[in-house]
Structure 1
Amino acid sequence: MKAKKPGRALRVADQIAKDLAALIPVEVRDPRVGLVTITGCEVTPDYAHAKVYFTVLGREPEECAEGLNAAAGMLRNHLFKNLRIHTVPTLHFTHDASVAKGFEMDALIKRAMAETPAGER
């Protein structure tokens, strides 16, 4: 069997992220899911699994992940209609903590800059 090209996996992951960003606000009615932003997607080389990263506003991330994972089968069905690949990956939603960590780092830098005298910068 011919090996799949890694560039194609990246394109498939990007398309999954774009499609999910459009589908979730329209199709997911679970009250545990708030305002979700899809921040990224990683697909295994055999396209069996996709890890979808998200951030959420106004809800607990763990609670939102439960709601999204409960809707994963329905979302996968919608993806099957849009994607032109033989196997649509099983979706696994994971909260993306990198955005929150970025805000924390930014706050630390600002605080350090404010505490440092102007002559020492």
Structure 2
Amino acid sequence: MRKAYSRRAIRLEEMIMHELGRILVQEIQDPRLELVTVSGVRLNTDLTVAEVLYTHGQSPVRHSEVQQGLDAARGYMRTMLGKRIKLRHVPELRFVWDSFLEETIHDPPIADT
């Protein structure tokens, strides 16, 4: 997926990230998604696909359960996103585990000596 870099795309990514975070906290009742945080959104060049980066405070063993919960709520979240942002075409949501924080904690940079 090629990432979009236009001002419109960047603004839309921020809006999507903010609204999905609110939807997760206020409206989703799935216990698998209790500690899920949306850490970023990347749109493709024609704004039809949104990769939603997420993290969660649960153990890595529960990662598949969280992914299943997000996949199950995908349609509802997309519908609510369309109502809140008022887009003609709401992008398809694809949830991707954001391993950046985990990598920085477990693999600290090596200092030059």
The TM-score range, normalised by the shorter chain, is 0.7 to 0.9
The code of the aligned residue for 2:42 comes to E
Q: 2:58, 2:38 → 1: CA distance? A: 15
Q: Structure 1: 5+ residue runs without aligned partners?
A: 114-120
* Corresponding residue for residue 38 of structure 2: 38
Give per-residue Cα distances to partners, 1:74-106, cap 9 Å, x unaligned: 011111111132111111111101110011123
**2:53 aligned with 1:47, yes or no?**
no
**Which residue is equivalent to 2:78?**
76
Query: Quick check: 1:92 aligned with 2:94?
Result: yes
Paired letter, 1:103:
I
Whole-Å Cα distance in 1 between the matches of residues 63 and 96 of structure 2?
Answer: 9
TM-score using structure 1 length:
0.78
Match of 2:66 in 1: 64
User: Highest Rg: 1 or 2?
Assistant: 1
CA gap of 1:32–1:5, structure 2 versus 1, over 3 A, is closer
Higher relative contact order structure (alpha carbons within 8 Å, sequence separation ≥ 6):
2
What's the RMSD between the two structures over aligned residues? 2.1
Instruction: Please report the TM-score for the alignment, with normalisation by the length of structure 2.
Output: 0.83
- Unmatched segments (≥5 aa) in structure 2: none
Aligned residues: 107
- Mean Cα deviation higher: 27-36 or 14-23: 27-36
The 8 Å contact of residues 34 and 64 in structure 1, kept in 2 or not, is answered as no
1:69 Cα deviation from its structure 2 partner: 1.4
- Between stretches 10-19 and 25-34, larger displacement belongs to 25-34
